[in-house]
Amino acid sequence: MKKQLPLKLFFIFFICLSVLFSVTENCDAANYFIRWKYSGTETDMNIEKGQSFYIGDFVMITYGKEYYTGSMVGGTYATSAKKIATVTKKGLVKTKKVGTCDITFKYKGKTITAHLNVIAKGGFNYTSQYDSAFSALKKNAKALSVPKKISSGNAVTYLKKQTNYLSKWGQNTCRYTTYDGYANTYIRNENNTVNEDRSNDLVVPQAGRYLTLLAKLREFKRKNDPLSTDSTTNNFKVKKVTGSGSTVTITLKKAISQAQIAAVKIKYPSLNSSGDSAKTAKMSTLIYSVKAKTYYRGNITLKKGSKTVTVKVVQNAFPYSTAVTLTKGTKYTLHFVPETLSTFTSK
């Protein structure tokens, strides 16, 4: 007859298992870095009465290579004074009355605080130039929308929204505001995307939606980037590489997917314009001549559904259009997928 373990041993085993899971969870939480966009665990926001916005858009969360905003995770929000400002479970803040209050955000056992100073509607005292810029940014922000999820089907559409928003901000309002809705402390002399000169005046809080849209696009890119080893399920698998003349041909094991096309568009914004086809994506790579000890550039246009990638070899110098003829019988190394170098001999 088999002996059964005493009940006490089962109890001890259960306690040890619970402690193990608790330690693992605490260590995991410790690796999360949570802060406000322009500061650490505390930030100041001056905002007008009657505004409605998602405060989680301004919360930055990093975990290894992962990056989120507070609006993308299931954190907990609270207000210190409901008469001044309320906040919903999803982080939607509504400023009700002139006064001050704190909005807290808690996630993974960590809490950060926003000190809200609610002023009267129209209470910001800026010049007409600033006011015009605020109106333009507000109109631009209204065109933004953030989906529940970025997918292969909608990624290109939302990428266009993101790039169009940033383009209009750069053309019309960047001298006076940050792209996420804060007034600049002074009028900038040059159009740029640096937000170091912001004030605490959150004049267009709805512009924070841009931060969450950008974070969702980046997260989609991280998971689907065919040129990164982080994307273990979606990265390109090279079957064969050949080279002749000014062309290198890459044969893939699987056809290029729409998710891979969208991820490359996100990764190379300067090479892809909003007017390009949703089924193609441009990128570049490096080709190294072992004999000449020289790097060349490879210009690529990826096509959805194709297993063949054509690389046009050019000089690795601006404007990256001077064709290079590969030397017959010479070995070259193609830097296509990181950490996976493909060597071929030109024919």
Q: Judge contact between 209 and 179, C-beta under 8 A.
A: no
Helices (H) and strands (E) in the chain, counts: 5, 19
- Give all strands of the β-sheet with 331-337 in edge-to-edge order: 238-244, 247-252, 308-315, 294-303, 280-289, 331-337, 340-345
Predicted confidence (pLDDT) per residue in 231-272, tens digit: 666 788 889 999 999 999 999 999 999 999 999 999 999 999
Average pLDDT, the chain: 88
Amino acid 16 reads C
In the prediction, which pLDDT does 293 show? 93
pLDDT band of residue 65 (cuts 50, 70, 90) is confident
In the prediction, which pLDDT does 26 show? 44
Predicted confidence (pLDDT) per residue in 121-131, tens digit: 999 999 999 99
- Architecture (CATH level 2) of domain 18-122: Sandwich (2.60)
Segment 34-62 shows an average pLDDT of 95
Domain range summary for the chain, segments of one domain joined by +: 18-122, 124-224, 238-345
3-state SS assignment for residue 51: coil
Q: CA torsion sign, 42 to 46 to 51 to 57? A: negative
Predicted confidence (pLDDT) per residue in 199-218, tens digit: 999 999 999 999 999 999 99
